[in-house]
Amino acid sequence: MAAALWLCALAASVAVAAAAPPVGFTIQGRVYCDTCRAGFVTSASEYIAGAKVRLQCKHFDSEEVKHQVEGVTDESGTYRLLLEDDHQEEICEVLLLESPRKDCAEIEGRRDSARVSLTRNNGMASEVRYANPIGFLRDEPLPNCGVLLQQYALGDADD
C-alpha cells in the first residue's frame, strides 16, 4: 500500500515537472557579410564565423539596461544566446559588436540589430526565439553585385 502511494506521488511530481514551463529562452540568429552593400541578405552574402553579438534588454519606460548576454557565431555564422526568465516589461534586441573580418566590419544602422520577443505572454509556445539576420557591410561591393541587384529589380527605374 505504501509503495503504491509512493509510486502515485512520484508519477504526480513527474507530471507537474513536465508541465512546468521552461524558465528561459534560447535566442538564435545569424550574422552575415553584406558583400553587395544592399542592406539585406542576398545570394552573394557570406555568413561570418567568429562575429561578436550582444543581446540587450531595456525596460520599456526607463530604457535602463536590465540584462545583457554576449556571444560569438559558430562556423555557420549562427549564434545561440541563453537568457533566463520572462522579459515582458523589456525591449530585447540582438546587436552587432565586432566582426573578425577586416574587409567586412562596417556597422550600418539599418541592419545592426534585431528585436526579439522574450515573453510567454504573446502566443508563442517555443522557448527558442529566432532573430532576423544582422549584417556587417563589406568595404567594397563585389564586382558581380550590379548584375545581382538587377535581379532584385533594385536599380534606378526610369519608368
Contact 77, 103 (CB under 8 A): no
State the DSSP string of 74-98: -TTSEEEEEEES--TTEEEEEEEEE
**High-pLDDT (> 90) share of the chain, %:** 50
Residues 51 and 136 sit within 8 Å (Cβ to Cβ): yes
pLDDT at 136: 97
Domain boundaries, the chain: 22-151
Q: What pLDDT does 94 receive?
A: 96
Class of the CATH domain delimited by 22-151: mainly beta
H/E stretch holding 7: helix 2-19
| Nearest one of 80, 82, 95, 103 to 135, comparing CA atoms | 95
What are the tens digits of pLDDT across the range 40-53?
999 999 999 999 99
pLDDT tens, residue by residue, 5-31: 555 555 555 554 455 555 788 999 999
